[in-house]
Amino acid sequence: MEADLRRSDWRDPDAGSVNFLEYAESWIKERDLRPTTLELYRRLLRLHLAPTFGALDLDQITAPRIRTWRTEPLEADKRITAAKAYRLLRSILATATDDDLIRRNPCRIKGAGKEPSPERSTATIEQVYELAALVGERWRAMVLLAAFTTLRPEELAELRRQDINLGAATVRVRLAAPELTTGRRVVGDTKSDAGKRLVTIPAVILPEVKHHLDTFAEKGANGLVFVGPEGGAFRRSSFGRIWRKARDTAGLPGFRFYDLRHTGNTLAAATGASLKELMARMGHGSVRTAMIYQQRDL
């Protein structure tokens, strides 16, 4: 023990006697997380980590216990959930290791935190216009903007009249309003600094955007561009029913609204957009995602 002390290797044998659930809750609270990430972490902790590890101390969480815990969601074919929960557990225990509460992180399963990445669906230009017609006049412009400017759903939800310049044919993305599972939208910054951007609106859909602003958008420069029939903010739950019916009618079962963004990026790459142009259009600071579209185009 004295030798370990001199080498600064000594560790209090009781250091790991800290309840995992209490430590995990503090770990989440101490981080400056986006509202959607905070909601996700709390749900993963409550539903997937706490039932197995909540009553244990940190030093009681071993590699064999983690392997056993992971088999249940895998057997239920919940690989994405298993990967998300595993990544959260690994991050929490990595901090516990840095805090000298445990000697080594027991999360050592190679590839366990990697989510399967199924090929995303894309639509043709004709199918995009068909979907725009099927969702109805109120939501037609939103579908077209999602596909041809590749704005994220949370960016579209927070668009204001002042963000659209019809004369210059541009839309400026300043903020985002992701929707939590409770239905509440949280207005804040875009997903990253690169998300704040100016995107060109194709001339072919400018008349649709102008018609929408004249007919459906809130009044005033700061009025929301997309609102429900009663004037309330855009809600995923109410629009979801309209969207599912439209995609099924169009013969695109499983096609998500977010896939319109993927479609637009694919079309932009196919028409020769450079890597820099794709990154600016998508609102990404990293070249990795933009490279996917360029490679697909090749």
Query: In order of start, what are the domains of the chain with their CATH numbers?
Result: 2-98 (1.10.150.130), 125-297 (1.10.443.10)
Q: SS3 letters for the chain? A: CHHHHHCCCCCCCCCCCCEHHHHHHHHHHCCCCCHHHHHHHHHHHHHHHHHHHCCCEHHHCCHHHHHHHHHHHHHCCCHHHHHHHHHHHHHHHHHHHHCCCCCCCCCCCCCCCCCCCCCCCCCCHHHHHHHHHHCCHHHHHHHHHHHHCCCCHHHHHCCEHHHEECCCCEEEECCECCECCCCCECCECCCCHHHCEEEECCHHHHHHHHHHHHHCCCCCCCCECCECCCCCECCHHHHHHHHHHHHHHCCCCCCCCCHHHHHHHHHHHHCCCCHHHHHHHHCCCCHHHHHHHHHHHC
Amino acid at 32: D
Query: Cα–Cα distances in Å, from 274 out to 16, 73, 168?
Result: 52, 41, 22
232 band by pLDDT with thresholds 50, 70 and 90: confident
Per-residue pLDDT reduced to its tens digit, 101-147? 998 999 999 999 998 766 778 899 999 999 999 999 999 999 999 99
297 band by pLDDT with thresholds 50, 70 and 90: very low
CA dihedral 63, 69, 75, 76 (to 10 degrees): -150
Amino acid at 107: C
Mean pLDDT (the chain) is: 86
Contacts of 119 (CB under 8 A, 6+ apart): none
Are 227 and 236 in contact by the 8 Å Cβ rule? The answer is no
**Joined tokens for residue 14:** 């009781």
Contacts of 78 (CB under 8 A, 6+ apart): none
Would the CA dihedral through 239, 242, 248, 250 be positive or negative? negative
Query: Cα–Cα distances in Å, from 15 out to 8, 63, 93, 128?
Result: 15, 18, 13, 58
Are 96 and 84 in contact by the 8 Å Cβ rule? The answer is no
Per-residue pLDDT reduced to its tens digit, 53-100? 999 999 999 999 999 999 988 887 788 999 999 999 999 999 999 998
- pLDDT of 181 over the 60 cut: yes
198 band by pLDDT with thresholds 50, 70 and 90: very high
As a whole number of angstroms, the distance between CA 36 and CA 23 comes to 21
